Amino acid sequence: KAGVTQTPRYLIKTRGQQVTLSCSPISGHRSVSWYQQTPGQGLQFLFEYFSETQRNKGNFPGRFSGRQFSNSRSEMNVSTLELGDSALYLCASKFEAGNTGELFFGEGSRLTVL
């Protein structure tokens, strides 16, 4: 069974640009969550999607958005990039919605903003 797949693995952008990151969950999983990992702030929850609906959102500005497609694949978008958006973005999937079930993480997308 394939794991959680995130693309691209690495990318470099400049300030003001926008970026889209993709996450393909484990087959059959309908819940996808996104986390941002930085040396300064650690791991922070961005948002969770289940059945194409955003279930919860972390404390991030509106520049951070996401969506989920009918096949459960998810994308997150960051507009008007800032230097502080440089981070490892981790996606995690699980079968159930809500607070049950084990989360399976992908290897992340490393974003560098210059």
Q: By CB under 8 A, name the binding residues for another protein.
A: 31, 33, 35, 42-45, 48, 55-56, 58, 88, 90, 92, 94, 97-108, 110
C-beta closer to another protein: residue 50 or 85: 50
CB of 43 to another protein, least distance (A): 4
CB of 93 to another protein, least distance (A): 10
- Beta carbons of 66 and 49 less than 8 angstroms apart: yes
CB of 63 to another protein, least distance (A): 20
Q: What is the largest CA-CA distance in the chain?
A: 39
C-beta closer to another protein: residue 16 or 66: 66
DSSP, residue by residue, 20-48:
EEEEEPPTT--EEEEEEEETTTEEEEEEE
Residue indicated by tokens 């290897």:
107
C-beta closer to another protein: residue 19 or 106: 106
C-beta closer to another protein: residue 17 or 56: 56
48 CB-near residues (< 8 Å, 6+ apart): 31, 32, 33, 34, 54, 55, 56
CB of 60 to another protein, least distance (A): 13
